[in-house]
Amino acid sequence: MYEKMDKRDRASQFRQRLARAMEEAKVSQSGLARRIGVDRSTISQLLTDEGARLPNAHVVGACATALGVSADWLLSLSDRPESAAELLAGSLSMTEAPRALVDERIFEWHQQAAGYKIRYVPATLPDMLKTRAVLEWEYAPHLGRTADQAIGASEDRLSWMRSAQSDYEIAMPLYEIHSFAHATGYYHGLPLDVRLEQIDHLLTICEQLYPRLRIYLFDAKRLYSAPITIFGPLLCVFYAGSHYMAFRDRDRIEIFTRHFDTLVREADLTARHLPTHLRQLRTAITGPVPTPG
């Protein structure tokens, strides 16, 4: 919210900003007059009048459009000279999300955010933590003959992400890890030996990389989150299926960071408790080890 400004101060700043916009656009008084359909004397008066009056909304809007700035900026209602359309284009982008592992766009975002904390709500188990056998089961039917090559390339990127100097916080619903362990829902048909190998792999990674890698499990009956990755203060990215929707403006990044922090704060299982939970799941799908008779 902007502080209330004296009328004379606002009029004075309008003249300064109009002159600045004309200079940066390399537009003369005559040129601006032609663009907005007024006499040159009108532009001259806008730039030199020492009074407290501002031009009418039509003239302000026409000047803003002709000079490629926002009317709010000319009137000191905003500190950003860009138009609303330019601000939106700069803060929000849509990128195609191919059915693949770590594509070029995602990997580039991770590289840009190296050293920052990365917060992540995955759509399934995080790709960066999956075994090769799980990746093959999941992606081979869609990638066909290129599956082996794609998985090999992605393994290198996933290894880079695991070794990068970034802290990773991952939050996902409890049912996701339960569905995986019991091969239900999305994971229907996943062989037992593949699931056991994956659970053992998660145990190893969680113990080796903690506290730089922390995984939290929340109850989806109480909390919900769309798949989202927050790359430090740089951007947050929603996964919408066929596209990624990326926000770069500070306010939205802060809002979604607070949302993620709520998932962590209210998680039913914290990163410290995850290994115990994984061992219990392992026992549940294999049965207890028989005691020697």
pLDDT digits (tens, 9 = 90+) for 139-167: 877 766 566 766 776 677 667 777 777 88
pLDDT band at 99 (very low <50, low <70, confident <90, very high): low
Q: If DSSP codes are grouped into helix, strand and coil, which group holds residue 237? A: strand
pLDDT bracket for residue 293 (50, 70, 90):
very low
Helix (H), strand (E) counts: the chain: 13, 7
Average pLDDT, the chain: 84
The distance between the two most distant Cα atoms of the chain, rounded to a whole number of Å, is: 105
Give the residue among 65, 172, 165, 188 at the shortest CA–CA distance from 124: 172
Which of 22-26, 160-164, 219-223, 256-260 has the weakest average pLDDT? 160-164
Q: What is d(CA 83, CA 39) in angstroms, rounded to the nearest whole number?
A: 25
The answer to whether residues 36 and 62 touch, using CB atoms and an 8 Å cutoff, is yes
The predicted model gives 86-108 an average pLDDT of: 62
Q: Which of 77-86, 89-98, 128-137, 169-178 has the highest mean pLDDT?
A: 169-178
Sign for the pseudo-dihedral over CA of 208, 260, 127, 182: positive
* pLDDT for the residue numbered 104: 72
CA quadruple 70, 76, 78, 82: dihedral sign:
positive
Strands 228-231 and 213-218: unpaired
Confidence of residue 2 (pLDDT cuts 50, 70, 90): very low
How many other C-beta atoms lie within 10 A of the C-beta of residue 185? 12
Q: Is the pTM of this model over 0.75?
A: no
Q: Of 127-131, 243-247, 248-252, 261-265, which has the strongest mean pLDDT?
A: 261-265
DSSP character for 4? P
Across the range 191-213, mean pLDDT stands at: 92
Per the structure block, which two tokens stand in for 183? 């091969």
Between 259 and 74, the higher pLDDT residue: 259
Residues 98, 103, 106, 112: what is their CA dihedral angle, to the nearest 10 degrees? -150
Q: What is the DSSP string of 121-155?
A: E-SSS-GGG--HHHHHHHHHHHHGGGHHHHHHHHH
In this predicted structure, the answer to whether residue 34 has a pLDDT above a threshold of 70 is yes
Residue 90 has pLDDT above 80, yes or no: no
pLDDT at 97: 62
